[in-house]
Homo-oligomer: A and B are copies of this chain.
Amino acid sequence: MKLITVKNEQELSELTGELLIGWMLSKQTRFNLSITAGTTPEGVYRYLAPKIEKSRAFRHVHYYNFDEIPSTDPAFIGITMRDLNKLYFNPAKIDASQIHHLTSENYAEHDERLKQDGGLDAILLGIGQDSHYCGNLPGATQFEDQTVKVQATGALRTRISGHFDSPDLVPDHWVTMGPRSIMAARKLVLIALGSQKAEAIWHLVKGPVDSKYPASILKLHPDLTVIADEQAMKEVQ
């Protein structure tokens, strides 16, 4: 595990963007990448998008979504895809052929598809205050899960309802790559900002492996890089 402490969001955005550009350009053949939605990476994508958009050097990069929250409206594309389109795929003008949507329909074949396509080279992860990453909320998945459908009932349903304007739209499930699928990637990079993430970072870096803190398992990956500001790192330094 490599810990990199940055001063602020701007430094995090630049360094993470630089790291991703360098990783993409480290392979002459197809590079398979998963990237996170959310607020922490917004600056990363603002940094990356114009650079990716203007260069043909990144046409070998394929993007695989690692989770998706649909709605009861079958015409809705999903929370993750909507957000990634807005944050990155649209401003970076990524060609549709390079984007691989994870959906309620194709999730069961996702791991095999990834294997056939050469496996994931890297994943950019965020982390929640509750230690979740991707759709791996506490209680939603188990460490041994590959890509799964999570039943959204009780507290889990409440957790995702904030994404929707109307309770009628809240779906009864979501899909996500589970811990086993995430750990199968060759490289992981996780970003965090702010003291409200400090406890989650402690569980990730120093805490016991405990399913109550989903990201606590990531410390076992042989190639994990954590980039966070001093506030988020304050419990581990």
The chain A residues found within 8 Å of chain B, CB to CB, are 1-2, 4-6, 14-15, 17-26, 28-30, 51, 55-57, 115-116, 118-119, 142-144, 179-180, 183-187, 206-209, 211, 216-217, 219-223, 225
For A25, what are the chain B residues with a Cβ–Cβ distance below 8 Å?
2, 4, 19, 22, 225
Is the beta-carbon distance between B220 and A143 smaller than 8 angstroms?
yes
Main secondary structure of the interface of A (DSSP, over half): mixed
Is the beta-carbon distance between B208 and A142 smaller than 8 angstroms?
yes
For A57, what are the chain B residues with a Cβ–Cβ distance below 8 Å?
2, 4
Copies of this chain, complex-wide, total: 4
Bound-complex Cα distance A128 to B19 (A): 29
Bound-complex Cα distance A18 to B50 (A): 14
Contact of A222 (CB < 8 Å), options: B1, B6, B26, B185: B185
User: Which residue from chain B places its CB closest to the CB of A184 in the assembled complex?
Assistant: B222
Is the beta-carbon distance between A208 and B22 smaller than 8 angstroms?
no
Contact of A29 (CB < 8 Å), options: B15, B19, B119: B119
Is the beta-carbon distance between A144 and B22 smaller than 8 angstroms?
no
User: Which residue from chain B places its CB closest to the CB of A142 in the assembled complex?
Assistant: B208
22 contacts between A and B (CB under 8 A): A2-B25, A2-B28, A2-B57, A4-B57, A18-B18, A18-B51, A19-B21, A20-B22, A21-B22, A22-B25, A28-B119, A28-B225, A29-B119, A142-B209, A143-B220, A144-B208, A144-B209, A144-B220, A186-B222, A209-B217, A220-B221, A222-B222
Is the beta-carbon distance between A22 and B28 smaller than 8 angstroms?
no
Bound-complex Cα distance A24 to B15 (A): 12
For A222, what are the chain B residues with a Cβ–Cβ distance below 8 Å?
28, 183-186, 221-223
Is the beta-carbon distance between A30 and B144 smaller than 8 angstroms?
no
The distance from the CB of A48 to the nearest CB of chain B, in whole angstroms, is: 10
Bound-complex Cα distance A92 to B200 (A): 33
Bound-complex Cα distance A220 to B179 (A): 8
Give 9 nearest A-B pairs by CB, closest first: A22-B22, A143-B209, A18-B21, A183-B220, A18-B18, A4-B57, A29-B119, A19-B22, A29-B118
For A119, what are the chain B residues with a Cβ–Cβ distance below 8 Å?
28-29
The distance from the CB of A207 to the nearest CB of chain B, in whole angstroms, is: 7
For A187, what are the chain B residues with a Cβ–Cβ distance below 8 Å?
26
Bound-complex Cα distance A108 to B97 (A): 25
